[in-house]
Amino acid sequence: MGIFDRLSTVIKSNLNDLISSAENPEKMLNQIIVDMRDQLAKAKQQVAAAIADEKRLKDQADAEFKLADDWEKRAMLAVQEGRDDLAKQALMRGQEHLEHGQALATTWEAHKMETEKLKQSLRDLNDKIEEAKRKKNLLLARQRRAEAQARISQTMSGLSNNSAFDAFARMEEKITTNERQLQAAQEIDEEFSGDRLAGEFKQLERATGGASADMQLQLLKQRMGALSAGAPTSARQLAAGAPEAAKPAEPAAQLTAGKTEDKKTGEAELIAEIEQLRDINPRS
């Protein structure tokens, strides 16, 4: 089994253990990256050792070739000195070193090819780890989005039974009830506290304010030319500033009832009456 086959087996085993016991995806992914980088560091050490062995084989082969050259030079020297016996022995020794060097060179060539493959596998592993780091951020973003969607779904599911809206409606009704009770208490306090006679006169004064409004309305009509020359004498007197004969004062109870009835007349009704008046008496 090769170096990277063993590393792959270790990484797969660690991943299976992490996935089976995973509770926090972010923690799991970070741990996976850490384990992969640890395995990468070990792979680098093993590849470095393989490269060192390759260099050692290369040096040994070069040394054998150099020895073969040295013995060849000695054989040449022995021939020059007329020592053919020594020259023959030197050539035999040189041949041994040459053959040994060739064997080492063959081994070195094969080892070099394997080392290049290991280096390329190491580069691929490093690239995959960097890609895993980038994917980790993407996976974490997807995980956070899924968690957010789950929280939103839970919130919407909790609201679907209208419990929150029902509570809101109950609170609104409670506030409205409190306002009604406060208004009723104020009315009771105004009617049944203090000088009752003075209170009745205040109601009478507020009720008679409507007569003043009628007088102002008649004066406004006269200024606008809405009243004809044959208007009733009472209207001309109002225009001159002379008030009509005072009407007899109504009882306080009747005034209170009239006041309540007047409050029921809305703004829309008043606008409608004014529009009818404009249609009946258009300006020239």
Residue 261 structure tokens: 């009835």
Q: What's the average model confidence in pLDDT over 162-170?
A: 72
Q: Which residues of 64-74 are buried (b: 16+ CB within 10 A; e: fewer)?
A: bbebbeebbeb
pLDDT category of residue 94 using cuts at 50, 70 and 90: very high
Q: Are 218 and 239 in contact (CB under 8 A)?
A: yes
Q: Are 11 and 35 in contact (CB under 8 A)?
A: yes
Q: Is the pLDDT of residue 15 over 70?
A: no
Domain regions of the chain by residue span:
3-160, 196-280
Highest mean pLDDT out of 199-203, 225-229, 258-262:
199-203
21 vs 173, higher pLDDT = 173
Q: Which pLDDT belongs to residue 284? A: 45
Residue 225 structure tokens: 């030319």
Q: Is the pLDDT of residue 67 over 80?
A: yes
Q: What's the average model confidence in pLDDT over 122-139?
A: 88
Q: Which pLDDT belongs to residue 246? A: 42
Reference 91, options 70, 112, 106; nearest CA is 70
pLDDT category of residue 266 using cuts at 50, 70 and 90: low
Q: Which residues of 237-263 are buried (b: 16+ CB within 10 A; e: fewer)?
A: ebbeeeeeeeeeeeebeebbeeeeeee
142 vs 61, higher pLDDT = 61
pTM of the model as a whole: 0.44
Q: Is the pLDDT of residue 276 over 80?
A: no
Instruction: Count Cβ atoms within 10 A of the Cβ of residue 215 and give its class: 0-12 exposed, 13-18 middle, 19 or more buried.
Output: middle
Residue 250 structure tokens: 């109504």
Q: Can you tell me the distance from the alpha carbon of 91 to that of 75, in angstroms, rounded to the nearest whole number? A: 6
